[in-house]
Amino acid sequence: MTLAELRIEDLRCIETAELRLGPGINLIYGANGAGKTSILEACFLLGRGRSFRTRSNERLIRHGQALCRAVGRTAGEIPQTLGVEARKASDTELGTAARLNGAAVRSYAELATAFPVQVLDPDAHKLIEDSATRRRRWLDWVVFHVEPPFAAAWARYQRALLQRNAALKRGLDSLDTWDHELAKEGEVLSASRQRTLAALQPYWAALTEELLGVDVSLAYLAGWDQSVPLADALAASLSRDRDRGVTHVGPHRADVSLRIRGKAAREILSRGQQKLAAVALSLSQLEFLKAEHDLRPTLLLDDPSAELDQDRLGRFIARVQALETQILVTALERDYRLFGQPEHVFHVEQGRVTRV
C-alpha cells in the first residue's frame, strides 16, 4: 500500500506540485525553509487526516488562499485515490473533508486502512516528554491496524464521552445511558491496547538495547484503577465529575508509561536520548507490523540524522533498511545516500518541486 502519486495544492509554501513516487527510497532535498517538510505533511495528511506538525489543519493553508488540498493514489492491484481538503471551519462546515475513491469518508480510519503511514521528525522527542495525548495516539495507531473491533469501539466511546460531558455541564440527574456505553466500550478499548502493547514489548526491548543501551520499561496505564471495573470507577468518580463538568476516568485518560529504574524516563534521558527512545517506539511498531501482520507502512523521515551520533545513526539506518518499506526522506543535499540509492529524487526550492 505504497503511495504512487501525490498532488499538492496551496499547502504551506507550495502552490502546486505533482510527484510520482517509487516503492523504495524517495529523496526530497533543498535548503531549509524550501518546503521539503510540507511534502511529508501532505503525505501524512492523506493517511491520518491531520498534520504531524500542528493541531490545526487550517495552519496548512497557504497565505491568502481559502483552502489547501492533498490528493494521492496508492499502488497495487487495486489502486485507491485519497483526497484531503482543509479550509477554515465555520458554523455550518467542517474544517477538514476527506474522500476515498470519490466518496466522503465517515472516519479517518478509512484513510489509515488505505494508506498506513508513520513519521519520524526532529520533534520526535516530544513523544517522550509531552502529555499523554501523543502517546495514546501513538499506541492507538498500531492498535487500529491489528485489532479490527478497535476503530468502531473507539468511535462509540468518543460519542458517549462527549454526550456524558455535555450532560454533566447541564447538570442532568441521570447519566446511566452514557455510563453503560462508556463502561462497555472502554473495557474493549483498554483490552485491545493492552494486548497490542504486550505484543510490542519484544521489539521495544531489542530496539532500546541497540539504540539506547538503557533498559526502559513500557507499561499501559488504563486511565482508571483496574482493580475495579470501569463501571464502578465511573460511579466512584461521579461527584468529582459533577463538580467539574468533565469525566475524569476512562481510556481517554490513559497513558503509556516509560520508566528507568522506577523513575519517569523524561526525567533521566537527555534530549538526544529522548529522541532515540521515540525512534525506538515508532520502529517497534513498524517491525511488529512487518513481522507479525505483513504490513509495511510508508515511513516519512524528516532530517533523520539530527542529534544522532554516527554510531547510533548507523544502527538506526540498519533497522530502517530492514523494514523494506517505502521511504520519503528529506535532506539538504542531492547526494544524500544514508539509506541507500534513491529511486526518485526531487528538488524543492521556494515551494517549487522539480523531479531530478
Q: Convert the pLDDT of each residue in 36-70 to its tens digit.
A: 999 999 999 999 999 999 988 999 999 999 999 99
Q: In degrees rounded to 5, what are phi and psi of residue 56?
A: -110, 120
Whether 180 and 243 share a structural domain: yes
Write the CA distances from 221 to 28, 225, 229, integer angstroms: 39, 9, 14
For cell 492491484, name the residue: 77
Same domain, 136 and 279: yes
> What are the residues whose beta carbons fall under 8 Å from the beta carbon of 37, sequence distance 6 or more?
53, 121, 302, 330
Among the three residues 254, 274, 293, which one is the final residue of a domain in this structure? 293
Pairwise CA distance, residues 134 & 62, whole Å: 26
Q: Domain holding 244: CATH number? A: 1.20.1050.90
- How many CB atoms within 10 Å of residue 137? 12
Q: What is the mean pLDDT of residues 289-302?
A: 96
- Find the domain containing 33 and state its range: 1-116+297-356
**Residue 1 pLDDT:** 79
Domain boundary (259, 293, 327) is at 293
Q: Is the pLDDT of residue 238 over 90?
A: yes
Please indicate, yes or no, whether residues 146 and 240 belong to a single structural domain of this protein: yes
Same domain (yes/no): 155, 286: yes
If asked whether residues 254 and 127 sit together in one domain, one would say yes
Quick: pLDDT tens for 253-286.
999 999 999 999 999 999 889 999 999 999 999 9
Chain segment 192-237, per-residue pLDDT in tens: 999 999 999 999 999 999 999 999 999 999 999 999 999 999 999 9
Measured CA to CA, the distance from residue 339 to residue 356 in angstroms comes to: 18
CB 163 within 8 Å of CB 247: no
**Measured between alpha carbons, how far is 116 from 143 in angstroms, rounded to an integer?**
12
Q: Based on the domain organization, do 17 and 154 belong to the same domain?
A: no
Domain boundary among 255, 274, 293: 293
**Rg, Å, the chain Cα set:** 21
Q: What is the DSSP string of 136-174?
A: HHHHHHHHHHH-TTHHHHHHHHHHHHHHHHHHHHHT-S-
Tell me: pLDDT of 311 over 90: no
Q: How many domains does the chain have?
A: 2
Do 151 and 244 lie in one domain? The reply is yes
For residue 350, the model assigns a pLDDT of 93
**Co-location of 106 and 156 in the same domain:** no
The alpha-helical segments, DSSP class H, found in the chain are 36-48, 109-114, 126-129, 132-146, 150-170, 176-211, 230-236, 238-244, 265-268, 271-293, 310-323
pLDDT tens digit sequence for 61-73: 999 999 999 999 9
Rounded to two decimals, the pTM is 0.93
Name the DSSP class of 196.
H
User: Does residue 330 sit in the same domain as residue 257?
Assistant: no
Shared-domain flag, residues 250 and 330: no
Torsion angle, CA of 282/287/290/293, rounded to 10 degrees? -80
**Residue 163: which residues within 8 A CB-CB, separation 6 or more?**
178
Mark whether 308 and 286 lie in a shared domain.
no
Do 268 and 326 lie in one domain? The reply is no
* Length of the chain in terms of residues written: 356
For 128-163, write each residue's pLDDT tens digit.
999 899 999 999 999 999 999 999 999 999 999 999
**Mean pLDDT of the region 164-186:** 94
Q: Where does residue 207 rank: exposed (0-12), middle (13-18), buried (19+ CB within 10 A)?
A: buried
Supply the CATH number for residue 56's domain.
Answer: 3.40.50.300
